[in-house]
Amino acid sequence: MQVAVVGGSLGGLTAGLLLRDMGISVDIYERSPVELAQRGAGIGFLPESQRYLVERAGVSLDKISIATSHIRYLNRNAQMVYDGLHQYRFSSWTTIYRELLACVEPAIYHLDHEMIDWIDDADCVNVRFANGTTRQADLLICADGVGSTARARLLPNVQPQYAGYVCWRGMVPEQAVDAKTRSVFDDAITYYVYANSHALVYPIPGPDGSVKKGERLFNLVWYRNYLEGSDLDDLMTDNTGQLREISLPPGSVSERHAAELRTVAAARLPEPMADLVSKLEQPFLQVIYDIDIPRMAFGRVCLVGDAAFVARPHAAAGTAKAAADGWALAQALSEEKDVVAALKQWEAGQLSLGRQLLERTRSIGRRSQVDCNWVAGDPELILGLHGPGV
Ligand SMILES: Cc1cc2nc3c(=O)[nH]c(=O)nc-3n(C[C@H](O)[C@H](O)[C@H](O)COP(=O)(O)OP(=O)(O)OC[C@H]3O[C@@H](n4cnc5c(N)ncnc54)[C@H](O)[C@@H]3O)c2cc1C
């Protein structure tokens, strides 16, 4: 069997590696001309995202992630109003990407291959790339992310739904903050919840992947509401005057909005969090969308990861869902040799997984950003792909 995977990020890499391990001939096509750079910053590192690296690559979790033991909530005065024991692991997008990429033979990972189209015959799929090359495959796996070209073609009526808020993000080296701030954020995920907003902080590996204390980063995530239309458009107009849709990468936020972020942080966030915001050299942001889809399998073509459902980040489960799609696909193909039949069998479970995550994260987001009824330490808010803590 020949498989083409489009999208060389965490979802595409995991699916590609799992099928390669089954002896299937796999090629992974990524539109970026260079290896992917740091995106998404910190990630809650859930078991499904760890699974390939632990089970197949023998990587030690302690080398690529940080284990924390507390969930903490601060109040406006930076007093700890909740401190519960709960173990999480946190890592960074770059660390996980590097580790997965190291498992792939360079000859099957093709940069600068942007898929522009495909023809789906009864017997095979012919994929076309912007660089003029083509590829014939028995199965096309589309892992092309939130702005998926494949989803737009297969499900033209599905549109991203703006959640009403964006997520400001940034990382600060541990060394840049004083011992008092360090002690608040060390060994914990720390939340502050206030009117129609919440912020959280957790430690992640340093830029070079170091997990040693003193060399790590504090990852800040702050959800803030912006009205759709001119309010959001003003925010999303970058420092060159260009209106962007999904995200503003580091270095592109307008000076006016970066300054507003620092001012509001100083006025509204507990001092240790405001301190982090004041030290963010290049805050960046992602607009929060929901994408709900009715199908994931289309003959010999399927959608995985963010190319399929996009759920809000409140369960920290986006990469875990992408990985779970890949594991389930490998299982389905090992049980059923007919690709079309295997995809059909696979689809039912993944639709149900994606939909439950979407609904749960919508509800969490509404409680924080609209209803304002988050309670410190609420067990419903525990991170997890299948449900709180699982
Ligand atoms: C604010 C925020 C916080 C998050 N926090 C977490 C967290 O804590 N834990 C977690 O697990 N997840 C988190 N996520 C989600 C996570 O980042 C995504 O779910 C995950 O990256 C999805 O992986 P993917 O491979 O499906 O898509 P992506 O990572 O988006 O990759 C898609 C790839 O496809 C490529 N591509 C696109 N179009 C084409 C084309 N036509 N041809 C070829 N290549 C193409 C792109 O260049 C890209 O490399 C968060 C997301 C956000 C927005």
DSSP states along 159-221: --EEEEEEEEEEEEEGGGS-HHHHHHHTTEEEEEEETTEEEEEEEE--TT---STTS-EEEEE
Residue span(s) of the chain under CATH 3.30.9.60 come to: 61-90+161-289
Q: How far apart are CA 191 and CA 269, in angstroms?
A: 11
On the question of pLDDT at 386 being above 70, the answer is yes
Question: Would you state the pLDDT for residue 389?
Answer: 94
pLDDT of 121: 85
The CATH number, out of the four listed (3.40.980.10, 3.90.700.10, 3.50.30.30, 3.50.50.60), of the domain defined by the range 2-58+94-159+290-368: 3.50.50.60
Give per-residue pLDDT as tens, 242-264. 999 999 999 999 999 999 999 99
Atom of ligand 1 nearest to the CA of 11: 25
For atom 25 of ligand 1, which residue has the closest CA?
11
Choose which residue among 32, 39, 43 to substitute to test ligand 1 binding: the one with the highest number of ligand atoms within 8 A of its C-beta: 43
pLDDT tens for 186-217 read 999 999 999 999 999 999 999 989 999 999 99
Q: Where in the sequence of the chain do the CATH 3.50.50.60 domains occur?
A: 2-58+94-159+290-368
Question: In 337-353, which positions are buried (b, 16+ CB within 10 angstroms) versus exposed (e)?
Answer: eebeebbebbbeebbeb
pLDDT at residue 122, as a whole number: 84
40 Cα: distance to centroid of ligand 1 (angstroms): 8
Give the C-alpha separation, 159 to 104, whole Å: 33
Residue 50: what residue type? Q
Task: Phi first, then psi: give them for residue 385, nearest 5 degrees.
Answer: -80, -45
61-90+161-289: CATH, from 3.30.1360.120, 3.40.50.170, 3.40.50.300, 3.30.9.60: 3.30.9.60
CB atoms within 10 A of CB 191: 23
Residues with Cβ within 8 Å of residue 15, at least 6 apart in sequence: 5, 141, 143, 304, 325, 326, 329, 330
Ligand 1 pocket: which of 5, 9, 153 to mutate (most atoms <8 Å of CB)? 9
Q: How confident is the model at residue 298 (pLDDT cuts 50, 70, 90)?
A: very high
| Mean residue pLDDT across the chain | 97
- Pick the atom of ligand 1 nearest to 322's CA: 26
